[in-house]
Structure 1
Amino acid sequence: MQDISIISMIFTAALALTCLFLILAPLFKWDTYLHFAPKNQDLASTKEALLTTLNELEFEYKMDKISHNDYKHLKKQYEMEIAKIMKEEEDVAVTKVDQDLMAEVEKEIEAQMKSYKNKKGEGK
């Protein structure tokens, strides 16, 4: 009989914690803690959104919906953001190339070390 009450207490505690989590979960912004998208994909989607916005801005300017000064200011702002993202993408690509190059160099060094050890062992 003692075992049944301990099991029921554990089950009740687990159920209470689950209910508490489900009640409090909407109050927290989980997406800031759980970010699964790779940085490259995030940069690409942001760049695509900015380019789309830039095209829409140009369309609105040609339709005389915004003033020339506003158009120039917003266009410059969006172009600067796109340039910044393109620079980050370039840096990521260079870093990846550098890592690939370093891995290849390390393999060559290991191969040379093995051949050097083999030659040294043959000379004895």
Structure 2
Amino acid sequence: MKFKLIVASVSDEVTDAIVDAARAEGATGCTVVTSARGQGLKKTKTFFGLDLSGARDVVLIIVEQHLSRRILERISEAGGFDDRPGTGVAVMIDVEDAVGLGSQIHTLQSEIEDEI
């Protein structure tokens, strides 16, 4: 079984929406790293040296490759990445090897059996 890693940097108000969207498309879990910082095309404003940009989260989702594109597109829709600038960005990376997914592999095999 081959996997992809979806890494999404999102504003914290859309984190739950993209996690729910990923689960609805077949993701079996994720890791959310909170309080990340990022910058886009325009530098964020500060107030006496304090950053005024909203909090960001980094969401890490390991998914089976057959489900990966569908999940990536769905989280983009749920987060409004293309509709609202600054909401988030997601990339997908090949995973060469992974451990600790034994309990999820059985679930994934039954879910994607028809697609393979």
Higher relative contact order (CA 8 A, sep 6+): 2
Q: Identify, as 1 or 2, the structure richer in strand.
A: 2
TM-score, normalised via structure 2 length: 0.22
Q: Identify, as 1 or 2, the structure richer in helix.
A: 1
